[in-house]
Amino acid sequence: MSGVRRERLRRGGITALEICAVAALYYAVGRLGLLQQLVRGQVTPLWPSTGIALAGLLLLGRRIWPGIALGALLINLWLGPSLPAVLAIVAGNTLAPLCSYALLRRAGFRTEMDRLRDALALVFLGALTGMLVSATVGSVTLLLAGVLSAQGFWPTWSVWWTGDAMGVLLVAPVLLVLRSLRRPRSVPAARWLEGALLVAATVCVGFLQTSPVPLLFLGFPVLIWAAFRFQRAGAAPCALALSTFAIVAAAERTGPFAAHNLLTNMITLQAFNGSIAFTALLLGAAVGERNQTQHDIQQACSQLSDMVDRIAADEGHRGRPEGGSSEGRGP
């Protein structure tokens, strides 16, 4: 067997493993998302599989799209009303992240999300625009299949769209941040202590969201702390954790979601999730961009200082008379 053929087989095997991994992860997190339905089989405020799909495309490339389709098929086989409807929904679930991926690539999106423009692109192109495809295809399919009435089309479409968009805004950034992290050579003990305090504060605020008093706003100071001190690595997981606590409270009708109807709870929950995700993305990217700018300025000043020192040394060397000192010379 030639070396070229072995290399092709090796690459094909790696691609097959990546496709299977994406399919398994898409299915696993999709089943977890279905555990927190506000109405059984109808209202899922966060669909994390869309975040898995888009992150997989951004990190591994378009070649893993069969894994997205396979994961969506495994989930929808026992949810859909008929096989044609299931296949149509799977097509929409596959095309939506592919559209988001194409839009982000065209906009020059960087997976490090170290620029404010990257955060804005993920929000408006990756989530809000790309996920229109899955919501529209899925809702129209259910309408044509007779499962959905005309009056229920727009509520279902809006829930589908916001759930898929929240999956992109809350799950994809965590995966992208994990991929871009570099293990530091040494971390001061104070830094570890601050990280532990941030985790504890996030958990405490999350549990407070289930209290009878409306305390959802307490998540924002913690999120700001995470973004300023740990940038994207702190803001993205913190936003996902706070959103998860809020979804659990809404599903169990506790805390600020106890005394309201389904529509009010959905509006409150998605407004909170969107605000948390938007704040985490933009603030984390802005702080990272600021820090990078400061680093570049310091590096430029250091280089300029070295250049000035070299020029001064060269001028001093040229200013010395040749042949050494003139003292002691006779006529």
pLDDT at residue 276 greater than cutoff 80: yes
- Describe the chain by its helix, strand, coil percentages, rounded to 5: 75, 0, 20
The per-residue pLDDT for range 133-145, each reduced to its tens digit, is 999 999 999 999 8
How many helices (H) and strands (E) would you count in the chain? 10, 0
Helix/strand/coil (H/E/C) assignment for every residue in 97-140: HHHHHHHHHHCCCCCCCCCHHHHHHHHHHHHHHCCHHHHHHHHH
Rg (CA), the chain: 27
pLDDT at residue 38 greater than cutoff 50: yes
Q: How far is 327 from 295, CA to CA, in rounded Å? A: 50
The confidence score (pLDDT) of residue 325 equals 47
Q: How confident is the model at residue 40 (pLDDT cuts 50, 70, 90)?
A: low
Per mean pLDDT, which range of 154-163, 196-205, 253-262 is the poorest? 253-262
Q: What is the pTM of this model?
A: 0.85
Residues 30-40 as b/e (b if ≥16 CB within 10 A, e otherwise) read beebeebebee
Q: Quick one: average pLDDT of 96-103?
A: 97
The confidence score (pLDDT) of residue 12 equals 84
